[in-house]
A and B are shown apart, each in its own frame.
Chain A
Amino acid sequence: MTGYDWDFATVWQYRALLATAGLVTLQLIVLTMLVGISVGFLLALVRLAKRRIFSISAMWLVEFLRAVPPLVLLIWVYYCIPILLDVRLSGFQTGVLALGIYSAAFYAEIFRAGIQSIEKGQIEAGMAVGMTNGQIMRRIVVPVAFMRIFPPFISQGALVIKNTVLVSAIAVGELLYEGQRLSIHTFRPLEILTVIALIFIAIIMPLTLSANALESRIRSRYS
């Protein structure tokens, strides 16, 4: 074996600090997803609007966002928004905003593909029994589209979760930021980063694995 002496006891000492950081990460995840999914859904609807000005603007916004490295976007928002818009945002708020909008572009593309996959006939069947557009959207388009986009939707969720560590670059006390501080403080970067990696695995793997199971259930039942 290598000569390195693993010492997880040090990490255990700082469990309270890591738990607090974990909570910040969790909040980041939830809020970023909320922003990403809701803005992404709206973007998808605008993207599919009949008026070309709308759909083309949405398309360009999506393409810009997809082409920017998320870390660059994050730092740009951190420094530019206060200057351009004269609002003060905390690092946490900046993170939710920048990463939320960033992921919204990807969610928008996923939702667009899902909505476009709905056969016209199924919408017309809804119209034929007298459903309104809103009812058709809620009762037919969204659930059927969701069934079909489930795998990329979950993959995007995993990406959102991982991308939350980027906000360590603007000093938000989430897992990676606190982990790095602890590493310097304790000279135990290997153990601490290992634990952080394990925490992320522990969050993401149950999500993706249960999604796989659900997907095969959907597949066997509905298609």
Chain B
Amino acid sequence: MQSGGSETAAPPVLSVRNLRKTFGDLEVLKRASFDIYQKEVVGIIGASGSGKSTLLRCLNLLETPTDGTIDLQGERFGFRQRSEGEMTLLSASEIARQRAKTGMVFQSFNLWPHRSVLENVIEGLIIVKRIPRPEAQEIGVRLLEKVGLKDKIDSYPARLSGGQQQRVGIARALAMDPAILLLDEPTSALDPELVGEVLNVIGELAEEGMTMIIVTHEMRFAHEACDRVIFLHEGLIADDGPPSYIFGPCASERTQAFVARYVSRHAGDSMPRKSEIR
């Protein structure tokens, strides 16, 4: 396991303070604060509707935070500090530029159906980063090789299995060379027999030191592959610590109850162990 960056002196990659998000009267996130360090793999668990997706979507500005601050590598995300201490929203193009610094992997893959596998991966490189096509293709091929899809380069998404599509989704996010990879239940839409191949890829990225936040219902994966797990309860960070703590007897009662419910419901899940992920 990579050593969690929290012991090192390096500043956090991502620093979130008092993050709030409301939809009308509904307060979905209630002042979440946390830091993510270089090479950390952080799992987010919590009941349906607890705000996990909303949290992740705020981190790459797919949702505009109602309040609070997000700093990625020291850069204030989404807002500019005005002299009076007031914040103004950045322009759409500045937000787009910042977004590219995070990678997002979606539950439902969201590949572009009119682009081949390789084109899906290099689209952002060509359109956003304006890298010449041959160079972009080289990067794309290398990443597809890494996720085990080199032979599918010219296929279209409709011809791929869910597991293959999600691996393309991961390659697409990696292509932008993000400072942090955000994954929102990357295996929840998959048939059980395809979950392993995707978790293996994520596990390999963890080994290589990719900084990641992964929302997951796969408790065993959270246990085995994450350096830290955050338990979100009704929009609040109810618990935050290493898996040994979150899944152990010292976690808060609420966390223990949640985990126990999950483990009993999903008993018999076949999750790769860390040693198998490698």
Contact = CB atoms under 8 A, between A and B. Distances in A.
Interface in A111-167: 119, 121-122, 124-133, 135, 139-140, 143-144, 147
B109 to A, nearest CB: 8
A20 to B, nearest CB: 42
A133 B128 CA distance: 12
Contacts of A133: 92
Interface in B90-107: 92-93, 96-97, 99-100, 102-104, 106
A147 B157 CA distance: 15
Contact of A139 (B99, B106, B123, B169): B123
A127 B113 CA distance: 16
B214 interface: no
Nearest to A140: B112
Given A124-B106, A221-B156, A131 B93 contact: no
B104 A128 contact: yes
Main secondary structure of the interface of B (DSSP, over half): mixed
A223 B113 CA distance: 7
Main secondary structure of the interface of A (DSSP, over half): helix
Contacts of B123: 129, 139
B188 to A, nearest CB: 14
Interface of A: 119, 121-122, 124-133, 135, 139-140, 143-144, 147, 221-223
Interface of B: 60, 62, 92-93, 96-97, 99-100, 102-104, 106, 108, 110-114, 123-124, 127-128, 156, 158, 169, 172-173, 175-176
The 10 nearest A-B residue pairs measured at CB: A130-B100, A129-B124, A121-B110, A128-B104, A125-B110, A130-B128, A132-B96, A130-B96, A130-B99, A222-B113
